[in-house]
Amino acid sequence: MPDPLPLDEQLCFSLYVASLAINRAYKPALDRLGLTYPQFLVLQAVREADGRTVGAIASRLALEPSTVTPMVKRLAAAGLLDRTRNPDDEREVRVGLTAAGRALWTRTGCLAETMLDRSGMKAGELAALNTRMRALRDALLASAPAQR
């Protein structure tokens, strides 16, 4: 059996470390907003489609609903999100941004600028990299065995 590649030659390790570096780059701005990175992602998913269900948010973020539910509850307790049960199906909870959530969202624009500044790349280069990463993600998800 061949020896494994050195860490720096393994794509999975490079992606892992890059993800950590991105989170560290965003952390000061998110701390000022009182958000964690996962909470920021939840707000972004709701902003993309106000009124999404918790399950749809979880699906959008590739997370389990049991992971998203506590975040939604904390963001609702902070006054950033509204949670509304579907009267026809009490299991379904729809989530929307409050006025405070929309106001906070307008202050998150600095995150894209942070990535441009910290990466040393041009916007087009980051966009091309993101396109390649989405293609990799989609290929890996499409080829994964079905989960129960």
CATH of the domain at 19: 1.10.10.10
Residue 135: phi and psi, rounded to 5, are -65, -40
Q: Report the domain count for the chain.
A: 1
pLDDT of 8-67, one tens digit each?
Answer: 999 999 999 999 999 999 999 999 999 999 999 999 999 999 999 999 999 999 999 999
pLDDT of 100-117, one tens digit each?
Answer: 999 999 988 778 888 899
pLDDT bucket at 84, cuts 50 / 70 / 90: very high
pLDDT bucket at 137, cuts 50 / 70 / 90: very high
Do the domain assignments include residue 12?
A: yes
pLDDT value, residue 24: 93
Residue type, 87: P
Do the domain assignments include residue 85?
A: yes
Yes or no: say if 29 and 14 are a contact pair by the CB < 8 Å rule: no
pLDDT bucket at 148, cuts 50 / 70 / 90: very low
Do the domain assignments include residue 2?
A: no
Please give the residue range of the domain that contains residue 112.
7-143
Do the domain assignments include residue 148?
A: no
Do the domain assignments include residue 73?
A: yes
Do the domain assignments include residue 1?
A: no
Average pLDDT in the chain: 92
Residue 134 has pLDDT above 70, yes or no: yes
Distance from C-alpha of 53 to C-alpha of 143, rounded to nearest angstrom: 27
- Ranges assigned E (strand) in 45-147: 52-53, 81-86, 89-97
- To the nearest whole percent, how much of the chain has pLDDT over 70? 99
**Angle formed at CA 21 by CA 139 and CA 35, multiple of 5 degrees:** 95
Residue type, 139: A
Yes or no: say if 79 and 98 are a contact pair by the CB < 8 Å rule: yes
* Burial of 42: CB neighbours in 10 Å, binned 0-12, 13-18, 19+: buried
Do the domain assignments include residue 93?
A: yes
Do the domain assignments include residue 71?
A: yes
